[in-house]
Structure formats: structure tokens, C-alpha cells
Chain A
Amino acid sequence: MRAAIANLVRRHPEAITITLVVLISLTFAIATGGSWLSVGNLQSLSQLTAVLAIMAFGEAIVIATGQIDISVGSVSGIAALTFLGLAPGVGCGLALLAALVSGSLIGVINGVFVALVGIPSLLVTLGTLFLFQGIGYAVTSGFSFAASTLVRKQFTYNAFGGGTAAEINTGVIWALIILVVLQLVVFETPIGNRLLAVGGDAVSSFSRGVNVTRIKFGVFVISGVLAALSGVLDSAFIGYADGSFGVSMELSAIAAAVLGGCHLAGGRISLVGTLLGAFILRGIQSFLIILGVQPQWYVLAVGLIVVLTSLVDRTLTKLALKR
């Protein structure tokens, strides 16, 4: 029995999260008399999950290398403001491109300071978190950007979070596409093997000829682009963005990744688990809303879940690696 559990945890780190998803879904469905599982709620839940998951995928990739990126909330905010701010003037296509470029540039800044200069990622991304949050507030200074009817009619706007396809928000489709692509890159390609190796043991990876600097730099750029895409998808769905857009999202993204089986020490991640982690967090939020509980309790619930999951995860990992 112990060996079977150990093997399951070793090969499928997301197993715990899948179990949690099933248990939570059943509990929430019963507790709300089925409302939690209504089509309307699931549609809303899937959009919220997708936006968080895309940001959390980037976070997971950074965590895979043993680093952390806490600037993703600000990146999504800057991207949302860029997208909605530029769309009326230059069109949604160019506005989207500008938003993604802004995210990648913030990723470049993070990557340069972490990979090339050697400053711990927590410090660097804490700095860029505040820096770009400040810029977001300064640029909007009390006002906000809203998508006009003309903007909402554009194809790109609808293809990137503002519309639906077969009753599913396009953001959900993007989340699934990104999941498949990243799953292949991380687990099926040489670059993915090296990325995980760097997180497992950077010195040993370097001794095997792996370009550790390039990988550490690259993950921050990927994280920046994904956080920016997340901001675009969410702002297109809401049709509105102000200086507070994306604030505290980084904490949910990190929580989703940890909940999904990503080890903060690096080297072991699960992208499917990260998607499920995002689903659990958003599921709890929607459950509390249906029950009419004060939204502040959501933060407490997330905190408790992250601590408990880390505890269970640590115990099971020790079990899995016991000879």
C-alpha cells in the first residue's frame, strides 16, 4: 500500500490535487443544493480559472527552476491597461501585441537581474511588483480604461477573452492551448529536461553543459508574457481596467501552483495540477459567494489551504523518496 502511494506521488504529483478537486466539487455541490454546479456558475468559474491558470502556468515554469516571480500581478495590470488603453487608437491586434511586449520586457528586466546579475528572484520581482503597480496607479491616476462598443466588436477582442466559442469563454480555450504547449515543452523536449534539471540542481546541470543562465533568464520572460496574456484576457472579459487591476493576483497564482504540486524548491512541477489548483481556488471563491459569505474569508481559506497542502505534499514527497 505504502509502495503504491509512493509510486503514485512520484510519477503523478498532481494526484493529490485531483483528489481535492473531486472532494471539493462534491462537497460544494451538495452544500449549495446544486447551485455551484449550475451551467452559469461553471461558465463563470471556468473563465476565472483560465485567467488565473495562465498566470499560474508562468509561475510554475519559474518555480520549476527554483526561482519565484511575484511581479505577475503587476505585469497583468500593466498589460490590461496597455491593451484597453491602446485598443481604441491602434486597434485590438496592435494593442494586444503591445501588451504582450510590455509583459515580456518586464520579464526581461526580472531575468537580467536574477540570471545575469545574480540577485535573488524574490527581491527582484518584489521590486518590479511595486514598481509597475506604482506605474499602473500613476498612469491611470484615478481614472480607468473601458472598452468601447467599437472595440468590443473587433475580432481580436473577442478571440482574446472578450467573447465565447461554443458557449465557452475564449480565455478558457487559450488556457487549454497553453497547457498543452507547455506540457509538451516541459516534459517532452530537451529544453524542458534542462529546465527541470536546473531547478533540481543548478550546479550539476551546469557541469553537464546546461546553459543555466539562459534558462533562468528565459523562464522570467515566459512568465511575463503569460501574465500579460492573463491580464489581456481578463480585461477583455470585464471590459474595464484601472490602476488596481491584477493586485494580489500573484499570491493566488503562487497558491495555485503550490496547490497543484509544484515544489517551491524547484525541479518538480505539475501543469495539470496547477490548472486544478487554480480551479480549486476559484471554486472556493465562488462557493463563498453563493453562500453569501464575506469575500474577506476567501483570503483566510486560501491561506489555510496552501499551508495544509504544503504539509500533505511534504509528507507524501518524503514517503515517495524513501528507499
Chain B
Amino acid sequence: MDKIVSRLAAVPAKSMMTGMDGEIREGGSPKTPLISIRNVSLSYGNFRALTDVSVDFYQGELVGLVGDNGAGKTTLIRIISGIIPPTSGEVYFDGEKITKFHPKKAIDLGLECIQQTIGLCDNLSVGRNYFLGREPIRRIFGLPFLDKKKIKEASAKVVHDFGLRDSVDVDDEIALLSGGEKQTFKIARAVTFRNRVIIMDEPTNHLSVRERAHVNELALQLKQQGLLVIYITHDIFQIHRIADRIVILENGRKVTDVPREAMSSEALEGIIRDGAGTPLKGRSAS
């Protein structure tokens, strides 16, 4: 983890490389949303996990998505990352309406989600997990075989660059890594594949105080490289220090959407603690 931030400087973001993704106004204030959620609702039977949520996310900004347990944060990012389709409403990526929701589609669009409990298959090696879903191939008689040399070399470099134990062998099953190491590995995988959007779902769980500081620094650097970073957390004080904008969800509804400077962390905490009650009008930045 110690090496993540220094390593990051050497990782060019896809958006920076192409220079075509979205528009950024002078001073870094974007005008075209990279992801636009419009009136999205999601129900599981009679239970409404999300109700009429609309929120825009812009390239080059770090958005804190905050809320209590069951607020709908994870549900929202699962929709964005294609894991579940919304019951109603629309999602736009780079101005294009998403009609097919599947994680493969999201990954192909350059969206990487680091989730708390999922993302790694314990039975696969470190190297195979690194490339799962986008395995490098070499053709033999026209048939696609795994490029094991590339898998080994690329994943070994990541393991080394991101400061995992020297004893970690990329051929070992990932189950042998500790919780913190797995989290670091997921972050490393998300960063090194040159994405446009990084979603971090409670990324500092399982991490030490020092490692948390590094993750936060990493989120800032990704933003500076032009990526959209959506950072999900319970910790309003932590996210208030680094985010450009804070979006608060409560009981599946968006209750607050403000630039960081507009409200203090204490005031935002009050909203989460006391419940919404107050209409969104007057709290919204937009």
C-alpha cells in the first residue's frame, strides 16, 4: 500500500491518454456529466431500495457518496456498474443511454468498481484474478489460449509495485492473502487498467490508519489525473476532507447534493444522524 501513491504517478489514466472523454471547463469545473442518473428507482418486491434518484457525476471530480446502512449507496453503485438494472429511470454514460446492464459493459466503458465483499475469487491465483474477465490470450492454431507469461509478469509487477508482501507468489491462490492485502490488490487492479471511472465502496475497510491515508491520497491523485472517483463511505469527516462534492442518500432517496465548501462536515453529519426531514431543495448544489 505504501507504494500505491508513488506508483500511481506512473499510471496514465485512459481519459488523460485519449484526451477526448467529456469536457472540462477552465479551472477544472466540468459541464457535461460523464455519468448521469435520471429518476432511477429500484425495488426488490415490495421493498424500494432506491426511489427517484437523480444525480450527475462529472469527469475529474471526487464525489463522496454517503449515507447510513440501508441508505441505497451500494444499490446505486451496483446499478452504475451494471450488476443490477434499475426498475425504472435512465442511466447515461458519456451522453449515451445505457440499455443493457451488465458488468462487462461497464468494464468495457472504463468503469471499475472496488467493492467491499466481492470482486475476487478465492480459488483462483493472484494472476488469474488480476485478469479475470479480460484475460490476455495468445493464439495457437487460431485457438485462444491464456497468455500465462503475460499474466505472471503483469500481476507480479503489480504485486511488487503496490507493496504487497515479497512472499506473495502470483501463482498462489488469492485466498492466502490477508483482508488488507486483498483490498490493496483490488485497488491496484482498478488503477492499473487505466479506467475512466473508479468507484470505491468503503475502500478503507480492513485497512490500517496509515493505509487509509494512502487510499485517500490515491483517490485524490486519480481525480487529478482526470478520472471520476465515486467514494462511498460512512465516514463523513474523512470524505469531507477530500471530496469535491458530497451526495447523501437516505432510505433510498437523495437528500443532499452539495459542494464540499457549502456545508461543514458537522452539518452534513447532522443530516445523516437526524434523518432527512428537510426537503432536498435548499441543500442541493444544483
Closest Cβ neighbor of B151 among chain A residues: A193
Contacts A207-B113, A209-B133; A189 near B145 (Cβ below 8 A): yes
Secondary structure dominating the interface of A: helix
- Interchain CA distance A149-B178 in the complex, whole Å: 66
B122, A200: Cβ atoms closer than 8 Å? yes
Supposing A190-B146, A321-B175 touch, asked if A208 and B103 sit within 8 A by C-beta, the answer is yes
The reply to whether the CB of B118 lies closer than 8 angstroms to some CB of chain A is: yes
Q: Is B49 an interface residue (CB 8 A)?
A: no
Tell me whether A164 is interfacial, beta carbon within 8 Å.
Answer: no
**Residue from the list B120, B172, B178 in contact with A201, Cβ < 8 A:** B120
- Cα A10 to Cα B176 with chains together (Å): 11
**Interface presence of A199 (CB below 8 A):** yes
A205-B121 CB under 8 A given contacts A190-B135, A190-B146: yes
Question: Given the complex of chains A and B, what is the CA–CA distance between A323 and B173 in angstroms?
Answer: 11
Given A10-B173, A210-B133; A196-B123 close (CB under 8 Å): yes
Nearest-neighbor residue (CB-CB) of A202 within chain B? B121
A23 at interface by CB-CB < 8 Å: no
Identify the interface centre among B81, B113, B176: most chain A CB within 10 Å of its CB: B176
CA distance A201 to B129 in the complex (A): 11
Query: Binary interface profile of B, 121-138, with partner A (CB < 8 Å = 1, else 0)?
Result: 111100010011111010
Within 8 A of A (CB), among B95-154: 102-104, 106-108, 113, 115, 118-124, 128, 131-135, 137, 143-146, 148
A103 within 8 A of B: no
Contact, CB under 8 Å: A200 / B124: yes
| Contact present for B132 and A201 (CB under 8 Å) | no
Query: What CA separation (Å) do A208 and B121 show in the bound complex?
Result: 10
Are B176 and A200 closer than 8 Å at their CB atoms?
no
Q: Which chain B residues border A323 with CB–CB below 8 Å? A: 176, 178
Residues of chain B within 8 A (CB-CB) of A266 are 123
* Alpha-carbon gap, A192 to B104, bound state (A): 17
Q: Is B16 in contact with chain A by the CB < 8 A criterion?
A: no
- A10-B144 Cα distance, complex, nearest whole Å: 26
A111 at the interface (CB under 8 A from B): no
Task: Report chain B residues within 8 Å CB of A211.
Answer: 104
Cβ A209 vs Cβ B134 within 8 A:
yes
Q: Is the CB of B118 within 8 A of A194?
A: no
Q: Interface size (A, Cβ < 8 Å)?
A: 28
Q: Place the interface of chain B in its size category.
A: 35 or more
Find chain B residues with CB under 8 A from A207 CB: 81, 83, 103, 113, 115, 118-119
- Provide the bound-state CA to CA distance between A266 and B123, in Å: 9
Q: Do the beta carbons of A190 and B83 come within 8 Å of each other?
A: no
Q: Does A172 contact B (CB under 8 A)?
A: no
Interface pair B123/A194, CB less than 8 Å apart: no
Determine the residue in chain B with the shortest Cβ distance to A10. B173
Do B172 and A10 touch across chains, with their CB atoms under 8 A apart? yes
Q: Is there an interface contact between A196 and B103, defined as CB atoms closer than 8 Å?
A: no
Q: Which residue of B lies closest to A199 (CB)?
A: B123
* Chain B residues, CB < 8 A from A210: 104, 132-133
Q: State whether the Cβ of A112 lies closer than 8 Å to any Cβ in chain B.
A: no
Q: Which B residues touch A190, using CB under 8 A?
A: 135, 137, 144, 146
- Taking the closest CB of chain A, its distance from the CB of B259, in whole angstroms, is 31
Chain A residues closer than 8 Å to B106, beta-carbon distance: 209
Q: Are A194 and B132 in contact (CB under 8 A)?
A: yes
Q: Is A206 touching B144 in the complex (CB atoms < 8 A)?
A: no
- The residue of chain A having its C-beta at the shortest distance from the C-beta of B176 within the complex is A323
CB-CB under 8 A from B121, the residues of chain A are: 196-197, 200-201, 204-205, 267
Q: Considering the chains assembled together, what is the distance between the CA atoms of A208 and B114 in angstroms?
A: 10
CB distance from B123 to the nearest CB of A (A): 3
Q: Chain B residues near A206: list those with CB within 8 A.
A: 83, 103
Q: How far does the Cβ of A207 sit from chain B's closest Cβ, in whole Å? A: 5
Which among B108, B115, B122, B123 has the greatest number of chain A C-beta atoms within 10 A? B123
How far apart sit A206 and B120, CA to CA, in the bound complex (Å)?
Answer: 10
- Please name all residues of chain A whose beta carbon is closer than 8 Å to the beta carbon of B135 when the two chains form the complex: 190, 193
Is the CB of A167 closer than 8 A to any CB of chain B? no
Q: Is the CB of A193 within 8 A of B123?
A: no
By a beta-carbon cutoff of 8 Å, the part of chain A in contact with chain B is 10-11, 184, 188-190, 192-194, 196-197, 199-201, 203-211, 266-268, 321, 323
Given contacts A184-B145, A190-B137, list 9 more A-B pairs with CB under 8 A.
Answer: A189-B137, A194-B132, A196-B123, A197-B123, A197-B128, A199-B123, A201-B121, A207-B119, A267-B123
Which 4 residue pairs are nearest across A and B when measured between Cβ atoms?
Answer: A209-B104, A200-B123, A267-B123, A208-B133
User: 23 A-B residue contacts at CB 8 Å?
Assistant: A10-B173, A188-B146, A189-B143, A189-B144, A189-B145, A190-B137, A194-B133, A196-B121, A196-B124, A197-B128, A201-B121, A206-B103, A207-B81, A207-B83, A207-B103, A207-B115, A208-B103, A209-B102, A209-B134, A210-B104, A210-B132, A321-B173, A321-B176
